[in-house]
Amino acid sequence: MMSDAVPTPFSGPPPTSGEEEAPLYVRIAGDYAERIREGALSPGDALPPERKIAEIYGVSRVTVRRALEQLVLEGLIEQRQGSGTYVSQRLQQPLSVLTSFTEDVRARGMTPNSQFLDRAIGIATPEEAIGLGLKPGQGVSRIARLRSADGIPLAIETAAVVLDALPDPTVVTDSLYDVLSSRGMRPVRAIQRLSAVALDKRNAELLDVPPGSPGLYMVRVGYDAGDRPIEYTRSFYRGDRWDFITELA
Ligand code: GLP
């Protein structure tokens, strides 16, 4: 649907004196980005046509085009040939900041939800034991979840957490990182490996896509302040819904 949530031009705080004003296209892009992050514009909503945006802001269509290009680059909108511009249904995960699924989903103005597939203490698998530096036979808190945003399944995550960081996995009802934070145990750094995969039948079914659909497989090892590995998580993300974004300086 066409959104009537047209931003008040330059609704952000006015630049303080002496501060250099951002170029017009950056400010227009910023306005729309804020609307999308606040949820005033939802995934799939149409943006007004270029001509209309130019009118609202009293700028040229060239400026509007630059603003839209910027939003496309940030993964916030997508332009469909001959049809218009829409708020993107893809989510972003910054690769340079240690965010949680809950934070990534909320950053898009969406509501996260989890269906627990497993939430129990178990013996670390050889892979988990190597990742966490545990001896064979040691236990971990294991949490496997189908993770959704606004009811759309987006990822399957299996986290193994060392027992002293999370002695009771059943206390995790929403965000694992919130629980770890409240215990002063949120990972402060992580190493991730991201690979392309074809989703197998089970994962595809859970994620509500045809078997063999493209996915992204991520392994994250999260470290505590003492540089000890405390989290070993394997995630399958839907390839059609995520952009992993890296900032380069
Ligand atoms: C991301 C990471 C996981 C991490 C999770 C925590 O999805 N890939 O390694 O365990 O966030 O998310 P939350 O705090 O929402 O449970």
- pLDDT tens, position by position, 208-240: 999 999 999 999 999 999 999 999 999 999 999
235 CA closest ligand 1 atom index: 8
- pLDDT tens, position by position, 5-44: 455 565 544 444 445 678 899 999 999 999 988 889 988 8
pLDDT value at residue 81: 84
H or E segment at 226? Answer: none
d(CA 143, CA 172): 8
CB burial of residue 185 (10 Å; 0-12, 13-18, 19+):
buried
Q: How confident is the model at residue 206 (pLDDT cuts 50, 70, 90)?
A: very high
pLDDT of 4 strictly over 60: no
- pLDDT tens, position by position, 133-144: 999 899 999 999
Q: How confident is the model at residue 242 (pLDDT cuts 50, 70, 90)?
A: confident
Q: What is the pTM of this model?
A: 0.81
Distance 169 CA to ligand 1 centre (A): 14
CB burial of residue 42 (10 Å; 0-12, 13-18, 19+):
middle
pLDDT value at residue 19: 54
d(CA 197, CA 213): 8
Distance 125 CA to ligand 1 centre (A): 20
* Domains by residue range for the chain, with CATH: 24-87 (1.10.10.10), 91-245 (3.40.1410.10)
d(CA 27, CA 7): 11
Closest residue by CA, ligand 1 atom 7: 101
Distance 212 CA to ligand 1 centre (A): 24
100 CA closest ligand 1 atom index: 11
